Structure 1
Amino acid sequence: MQCSGVKPNLISYNTVIHGYCLRGDIEGANKIFETMSAKGIVPDSYTFNSLVRGMVKEGREKDVSSLLEKMKSFGLIPTAVTYNTLIDSCCSKGDLEKAFFYRDEMVKIGIVPSVATYNLLIHALFLDGRMVETDDMLKDMSEKRVLPDGITYNILINGYCRVGNAKKAFKFYDELLSRGLQPTIVTYTSLIKVLGKRNRMKEADDLVVEILRKGIFPDLIMFNALIDGHCANDNVERAFDTLNEMNKMNVQPDEVTYNTLMQGYCKEGKVEEACMLLEEMKGREIKPDHISYNTLISGYSRRGDMDDAFRVRDDMLGAGFNPTLLTYNALIQGLCKKQEGVLAEELLKEMVSKGITPDDSTYLALIEGIGDVDSFLGRKDTS
């Protein structure tokens, strides 16, 4: 630029500083800052906000204080953008004390927190399990005449769904709709999940109809939430219908989809149907994982079909998955129910030799098939 006879101005320097900060090159950004200062070009708030964002992004919060002091030395006051950047960084690290320190500091110098400020803090409070304090934040917003936006409502709905408070979640959902704002697909999925936990899957299905009426198409995560809800509420056939609906809408299922359905069928003792699903997922080039195999092993073991359970265990090994604690527990439980104590002992030896520590479930199962487990393991009572 200088070679062409055009002198760089503040906008030029700000653009370059911003670019260096985006690239994570804070040293380069600082050199440009020093150059512009040496040439008598006075930085503005945009200059400092870029540097603050860059430093925060690179984890150099300790340098921010001196930068803010430098900002003040130029007669500039940190803006809402400056503080929101710092608050966002603190919230993402779980340092709410520092986040509220910056909030109080911005209020002290006369900057009213924006809706973005409140959204950051409310979201962080939910993540920290401090739901009661979100009510205080909403009250503070109201007193400062800061109107909640769609993001605020979506944070509140998702937060209350996460802790299973369907009543509050739907209260804010109704408020959001009454203000003409739109829920996100993540919010709809959260509502479906909380309805599933409350055995209200009819309402979840109705919500999907409402979503479709608005021209919003469910994604994989939403379909998985529906399938999980129906399976959890002992309606695996409705869950299977949901898989068919996914196929009609060209939404590709994943291993979570199939694992959930397989668990639903095994819960009802329909292990053959679960096996068919395993073959279907293979046919669709969806790779089964250890959960897929453990589900079938547990299903067969609960029914006492131990030959089939061990066959699936062999398939699991052939697919490159090592048996887990759940694998061994399922097999041991199945063997002990059939009074196959000797085989259960062999499995116990095998799991211990592989470094897998038996847990309470292992011991409870072994009591049925083995007389003295501690003696078998070579342990002595030191009490």
Structure 2
Amino acid sequence: MRGYNKLHMYTSTIMVYQRMKSAEIVLDFGCYCQIMEAYNKIGDTDKAVKLFLEFETRKLDSTPFPKQMYRILFESLGKSGRAFEALKFFRDMTRKGISGDSSMYASLICSFASIREVKEAEELFKEAAEKRLLRDPEVFLKVVLMYIEQGLVEKTLEIVVAMKDAKVKVSDCILCAIVNGFSKRRGYWAAVKVYEQLISQDCIPGQVTYASIINAYCRIGLYSKAEMVFQEMEKMGFDKCVVAYSSMVAMYGKTARLRDAMRLVAKMKAKGCEPNVWIYNALMDMHGKAKNMRQVEKLWKEMKRKKVIPDKVSYTTIISAYNKVREFEMCVNFYNEFRMNGGVIDRAMAGIMVGVFSKLSRIEELVKLLRDMKSEGTRLDERLYSSSLNAMRDAGLQMQAEWLQQNFEGT
């Protein structure tokens, strides 16, 4: 059975156990441990717990291996959401004179953190820290995620202190979780502040954290900081992060730095990192604002050739670009393609197409657009309402104008 478990052939271990049981072969402690582990690994935690209870009633001599079975028990109970039962067994174990080890504390803390029982997780965490038994990085990550989910993001910084005290490296995963937690719960300014605080404490970011903080700097307009961190990220060897490239290209778009954006994308491609839909959208938006339709069309064709699926923003961007150069028929063609692909009309798309259909005097299509908006639950703002109403009145369509007033006025 030990051999099967080492090979992850847990069902074979269980088959051996069932044959032993039918042959009425008495199990020793080692057998119980192997079978419990097998049931635990395949997710049948109830049977693992049942075997532990059976073992206890038999009172077998298990002096050489007292902790192994408890470790499996705590893990099994934790997996099935029975953390409080695991804690009860743990306290009973310590009363019997068996001391808890780092893996037991890790299992218990992770179990309580997973079900967001902050008080019990904190007590066990403190207890393990006092005994110098905090060694598993997963424990720290689980507690950090628990605090973030509960909105207690400031407490995540205490975990960083505990990790340093335990001489456990603050991983990129934990650093990123904290930065993103502050972004979500306290906003981008708070995320930037906590990032800079953690860096001052010698925490070393990795690719994921770099990407997150570049996005945060871009969101609050600290563009020079974003560029500085991006350059630092490249020097550290993280030069193939599409998310970071996306943030930088979008930033260049906001600051009208079209050449810098194109150079960055060329550099990205040279390193074998393919642009995603966000990057294509940002580039098309920049060229569209510059009325450079040749580049817009080139980017759209490149997207299709590389099988990057356009999203709602992609269609809105290219339709907006054609609208700027008054190529309204192209706007209609892309709008129809968008709808054929299952696209849902939002205010941005409606804002462009109401104007397009009005300018082309295609009132029937305008009415259909408005009906589709109504059925899809998209509200019509005052500007679009006035534009649509005027178009219908100018076309002498009083009945359609009355329908519009009845269905959209006051929205």
State the TM-score, normalized to the length of structure 1.
Answer: 0.73
Distance in 2 between the 1:301 and 1:312 partners? Answer: 6
Name the counterpart of 2:252. 195
Name the CA distance, whole Å, in 1 between partners of 2:385 and 2:276. 36
Classify 1:133/1:126 alpha carbon distance in 2 versus 1 (closer, same or farther; 3 Å): closer
1:288 aligned onto 2:343? yes
Q: Where does residue 170 of structure 2 map in the other structure?
A: 114
1:169 positional shift: 1.0
1:311 corresponds to: 365
Counterpart for residue 145 of structure 2: 88
Gap change, CA 1:228 and 1:12, over 3 Å in 2: farther
Shift, 1:276, TM fit: 0.9
Q: Is 1:87–1:99's contact at 8 Å kept on the other side of the alignment?
A: yes
Structure 2 counterpart of 1:314, which letter?
A: K
Of the three residues 321, 324, 341, the one matched with 1:264 is: 321
Q: Mapping of 1:210-249 within 5 angstroms?
A: 210-249=267-306
C-alpha change, 1:237 and 1:338, in structure 2 (3 Å) is farther
Once residues 33 and 197 of structure 1 are traced to their aligned partners in structure 2, the CA distance between those partners, rounded to angstroms, is 57
**2:187 corresponds to which of 126, 129, 141:** 129
Instruction: Write out per-residue CA displacement over residues 254-312 of structure 1, whole angstroms, 9 at most, x where no aligned residue.
Output: 34322332233234432210111133345xx5113123862554233663x4x424423
Of 216, 220, 226, the residue aligned with 1:159 is: 216
Matched residue, 1:376: none
Match of 1:326 among 380, 392, 396: 380
RMSD: 3.9
Unaligned runs of 5+ in 1: 359-383
Q: Which residue of 2 aligns with 1:372?
A: none
- Alpha-carbon distance change, 254 to 120 in structure 1, aligned in 2, over 3 angstroms: closer
Please tell me whether the aligned partners of residues 196 and 232 of structure 1 are also in contact (alpha carbons under 8 angstroms): no
Structure 2 vs 1, CA of residues 15 and 174 (structure 1 numbering), >3 Å: closer, same or farther? farther
CA contact (8 A) 1:20 1:28 kept: yes
Count residues with an aligned counterpart. 347
Task: Say which is worse superposed, 217-226 or 312-321, in terms of deviation.
Answer: 312-321
Q: CA deviation at 1:186?
A: 1.0
Aligned in 2, Cα 1:237/1:295: closer, same or farther, shift over 3 Å?
farther
- Gaps in structure 2 of 5+ consecutive residues: 2-16, 18-25, 34-64
Instruction: Indicate how the Cα distance of structure 1 residues 35 and 161 shifts in structure 2: closer, same or farther if over 3 A, else same.
Output: same
Identify the range of structure 1 (190-199 vs 149-158) with the bigger mean alpha-carbon deviation.
Answer: 149-158
Measure, in 1, the Cα distance between the counterparts of 2:142 and 2:278. Answer: 30
Relative to 1, partners in 2 of residues 1:152 and 1:349: Cα closer, same or farther, differing over 3 Å?
Answer: closer
CA distance in 1, matches of 2:353, 2:404: 14
- Is the Cα contact below 8 Å between 2:188 and 2:216 reproduced in 1? no
More displaced, 174-183 or 89-98? Answer: 89-98
Pairwise CA distance, 1:80: 7.3
The residue type paired with residue 289 of structure 1 is V
Distance 1:221 1:264, change over 3 A: same
Q: Report the Cα offset of residue 37 of structure 1.
A: 5.1
Report the CA distance between 1:218 and its aligned residue: 2.1
Counterpart of 1:277 (choices 334, 337, 340) is 334
Aligned to 2:407: 350
Tell me by how many angstroms 1:175 deviates: 1.3
* CA distance 1:161–1:296, change in 2 (3 Å): closer
Decide which structure has the larger Cα Rg and report it.
2
Q: 1:71 to 1:217 in 2, by over 3 A?
A: same
Matching residue within 172, 182, 187 for 2:229: 172
311-320 or 256-265, larger mean C-alpha shift: 311-320
Match of 1:43 in 2: 100
Equivalent pair of 2:176/2:208 in contact (CA under 8 Å)? yes
Q: Identical aligned pairs, as a percentage?
A: 21
2:155 to 75, 95, 98: 98
The secondary structure found in structure 1 opposite 2:314 is: helix
